Amino acid sequence: GGDTVIDAYNRLESDVISFKPHLVIINLGLNDGWIQEVVEDGNGGEVEEPSDNENKEIGLNTNVDLETFKKYYCDIIEIIESANIKIILMGINPVLGDPSLVNDNIAGGQIEIYKMYNEQVREIGLDSNLVYLDLWSIFNQDYKAHDYLQNDGIHPDENGLELIAKSIYDALKICDF
């Protein structure tokens, strides 16, 4: 847990390519788009921790900025494809916020950032002509995302994992893998 696209890239050979799989499902973005903690300045004011990972579109610092996320994500796809391995891209599941983010502006910003990262994965899928599973939409069918998430409002619960598994199964049935 806690891995970003950079961590996945650094472990790609040892954790994926070396096993010579037929298919890889990529699901990255939640940890990359995570807003970095805000700390107090000692006088009751909030000061963001120093970071080079500012997402200029929103003005919040994330673990990995969107441009770097895209670069590493595309590099991962290129390496996997060069090994003649099939790929399915899986978008980010929706989040309802995070109870640890007491500042409503940051919690709202977190959801918006996740939407941006999800859109980036969708665009990469289109540009690369890869199967893309839109978990954000799948979880929000009938506006019931809360039925598929743990109490933290971020991670899929058992029902959410079943929904993901069914979505992968359905994609495998219609694709030529």
Q: Give me the mean pLDDT over the 86-101 stretch.
A: 82
CA distance linking residue 50 with residue 35, whole number of Å: 12
Between 45 and 162, the higher pLDDT residue? 162
The answer to whether the beta carbons of residues 170 and 96 sit under 8 Å apart is no
**80-91 residue pLDDT tens:** 999 999 999 999
Band (pLDDT 50/70/90 cuts) for residue 57 is: low
5-174 adopts what CATH topology?
Answer: Rossmann fold (3.40.50)
**pLDDT for the residue 105:** 59
Domain positions in the chain: 5-174
Distance of CA 23 to the CA centre of its chain: 19
> In a 10 Å sphere around its CB, with 0-12 CB exposed, 13-18 middle and 19+ buried, how is residue 4 labelled?
buried
pLDDT at 55 over 70: no
pLDDT band, very low/low/confident/very high, at 74 (cuts 50, 70, 90): very high
Can you give the pLDDT at residue 107? 65
Low-confidence winner among 10-14, 123-127, 151-155 (lowest mean pLDDT)? 151-155
Q: What is the pLDDT of residues 107-126, one digit of tens each?
A: 678 888 999 999 999 999 99
- Which positions ≥6 away from 8 have C-beta within 8 Å? 26, 28, 72, 76
Written as one string, the DSSP assignment of 75-137 is HHHHHHHHTT-EEEEE-PPP----TT---HHHHHHHHHHHHHHHHHHHHHHHHHT-EEE-HHH
38's enclosing H/E stretch is: strand 38-40
pLDDT at 52 over 60: no
Give mean pLDDT, residues 70-97.
96
